[in-house]
């Protein structure tokens, strides 16, 4: 039976170009399912993406889509949202796109609390360009530019977003598809900057270098190492070691969003342009 | 067989995620590197394969008694 979410895909563009076993496809399906769950109007939803494997997703999704400059998805999305606040703006970005090239745009998007839903596909590596280490490659993991293991400490994008002022921060994985879908849907409800980190597997560039070339094995790694937030909080510090990481809604706050704050400024200035 | 498995073969890239997560060993990868149904009778329509297929190539429906 044909699935109802298929209408959100550009059928003539499928199958997508991602490698066999790539988790981006799973995360993309989670996004369209969340959109369907929330009943967002296809003509009032804009998908903005940067550059990278993850950002190819905008090309497969049948909405108004913008495939923008590297790292600059959030500034483009901010512009779209400010010009037309009634649109639902969803940003798809990757770990390199969001935390390296677009790192500054990311924190300032959080700081302004623009009403966007940002989904970061975290595959721990620059997949498309040949497997270079990204700021989210875990320390000690191998990449083509780190043949003896990455020396740098990895960014925790969720902590970064929280510290910078995002009002909804969550993390899930490609294994926890339903959980990821729910978290994205919840992020769409939040009026403010919603940041969802979706851990996805990259068997081709990251897995092959790190003795996990099997995509199913990478997903089982996610299953075995992800700890729900409630359980994570109860976990003693000495057990939070190794590869374990928390998933779920990691931070929630309420604050005025940028479009509303800007409306106040317009009123103060005499209401010109209204 | 109380389930109906639909495979969109042109979309399948043979990554083996569905095969690995099938609890009843219904699926396998054939010599051409695509998914095949080897044991349809065992399918319990849990939908694990459909849920995690990154290429939207496999769909499982529970057969409804008519």
ipTM value = 0.93
Contact at 8 Å (CB) between A19 and A67? Answer: no
- pLDDT, tens digit, 9 for 90 and up, residues A171-216: 999 999 999 999 999 999 999 999 999 999 999 999 999 999 999 9
Residues of A in contact with B61 (CB under 8 A): 1
Distance from CA of B12 to the nearest CA of A (A): 8
Whether pLDDT at A273 is above 70:
no
Provide the mean pLDDT of chain A.
93
pLDDT of residue B2: 81
Q: Do B56 and A25 touch (CB under 8 A)?
A: yes
Tell me whether strands B35-37 and A245-252 are parallel, antiparallel or unpaired. unpaired
Contact A22 B61 (CB under 8 A): no
Chain B positions touching A18 (Cβ under 8 A) are: 54
Average pLDDT of the residues in B29-57: 93
Amino acid A238: pLDDT: 85
pLDDT of residue B66: 64
Nearest CA in chain A to B51: A177
3-state secondary structure of B59: strand
Tell me whether residues A15 and B14 touch, CB distance under 8 A. no
Neighbours of A208 (CB within 10 A): 14
Q: Inter-chain contact B54–A216, Cβ cutoff 8 Å?
A: no
The answer to whether residues A175 and A223 touch, using CB atoms and an 8 Å cutoff, is yes
Min CA distance, A138 vs chain B (Å)?
A: 24
CB contact under 8 A, B11 and A15: yes
Q: How confident is the model at residue A55 (pLDDT cuts 50, 70, 90)?
A: very high
User: Do A219 and B10 make contact, defined as CB atoms within 8 angstroms?
Assistant: no
Domain at A22-228+243-270: CATH code = 3.40.50.970
The closest alpha carbon to A48, from A99, A98, A118, A126, belongs to: A118
Please report which confidence band the pLDDT of residue B1 belongs to, taking 50, 70 and 90 as the band edges.
low
B46 shares contact with chain A (CB less than 8 Å): no
pLDDT tens per residue across span A89-131? 999 999 999 999 999 999 999 999 999 999 999 999 999 999 9
- Among B18, B28, B53, B56, which would you mutate to test the A interface (most chain A Cβ atoms within 10 Å of its Cβ)? B56
pLDDT number for residue A77 = 96
Give the model's pLDDT for residue A241: 81
Chain A residues whose CB is inside 8 A of the B20 CB are 214, 216-217, 219-220
Chain B residues within an 8 Å CB radius of A26: 52-54
* Axis crossing angle, helix A24-38 with helix A177-189, rounded to the nearest 10: 50
Per the CB < 8 Å rule, is B52 touching A26?
yes
**Radius of gyration of chain B, Cα coordinates, nearest whole angstrom:** 11
**Alpha-carbon distances, residue A100 vs A31, A87, A93 (angstroms):** 23, 28, 11
d(CA A195, CA A193): 6
Question: Would you state the pLDDT for residue A274?
Answer: 62
Give me the pLDDT at residue A59, please. 94
Of the two residues A179 and A2, the one the predictor is more confident about is A179
- Position A239 scores a pLDDT of 83
Given an 8 Å threshold on Cβ–Cβ distance, is A174 in contact with B52?
A: yes
Whether the CB of B62 is below 8 Å from some CB of chain A: the reply is no
- CA dist A71 and A100 (Å) reads 8
Domain boundaries, chain A: 22-228+243-270
- Which of A216-220, B1-5, B22-26 is predicted least confidently? B1-5
Residue A145's Cβ-side half-sphere holds a number of Cα atoms within 13 Å equal to 13
In this predicted model, what pLDDT tens digit does every residue of A60-69 receive, in sequence order?
Answer: 999 999 999 9
């Amino acid at each position: 039976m044909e699935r109802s979410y298929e209408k959100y895909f550009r059928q003539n563009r499928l199958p997508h170009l991602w490698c066999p076993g790539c988790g981006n496809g799973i995360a993309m399906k989670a996004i369209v399912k969340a959109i369907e769950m929330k009943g967002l109007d296809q003509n009032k939803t804009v998908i903005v993406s940067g550059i990278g494997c993850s950002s190819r997703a905008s090309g497969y999704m049948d909405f108004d889509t913008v495939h923008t400059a590297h790292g600059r998805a959030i500034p483009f999305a901010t512009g779209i949202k400010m010009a037309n606040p009634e649109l639902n703006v969803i940003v798809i970005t990757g770990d390199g796109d969001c935390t390296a090239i677009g790192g500054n745009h990311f924190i300032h998007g959080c700081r302004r609390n623009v009403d966007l839903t940002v989904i970061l596909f975290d595959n721990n590596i620059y997949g498309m360009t040949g497997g270079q280490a990204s700021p989210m490659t875990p320390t000690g993991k191998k990449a083509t530019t780190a043949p003896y293991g990455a020396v740098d400490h990895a960014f925790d994008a969720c902590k970064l977003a929280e510290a910078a002022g995002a009002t909804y921060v969550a993390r899930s994985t490609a294994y926890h598809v339903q959980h990821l879908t729910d978290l994205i849907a919840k992020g769409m409800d939040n009026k403010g900057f919603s940041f969802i980190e979706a851990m996805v597997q990259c068997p081709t560039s990251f897995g092959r270098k790190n003795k996990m070339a099997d995509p199913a094995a990478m997903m089982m790694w996610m299953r075995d190492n992800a700890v729900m937030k409630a359980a994570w909080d109860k976990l003693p510090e000495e057990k939070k070691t190794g590869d374990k990481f928390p998933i779920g809604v990691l931070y929630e706050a309420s604050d005025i969003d940028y479009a509303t704050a800007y409306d106040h400024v317009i009123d103060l200035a005499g209401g010109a342009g209204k | 067989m109380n389930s109906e498995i639909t495979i969109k073969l042109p979309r399948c890239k043979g990554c083996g995620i569905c095969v690995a997560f099938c609890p009843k060993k219904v699926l396998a990868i054939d010599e051409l590197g695509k998914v095949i149904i080897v044991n349809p009778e065992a399918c319990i329509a849990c939908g694990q394969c459909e849920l995690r297929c990154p290429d939207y190539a496999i769909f499982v429906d529970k057969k409804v008694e008519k």
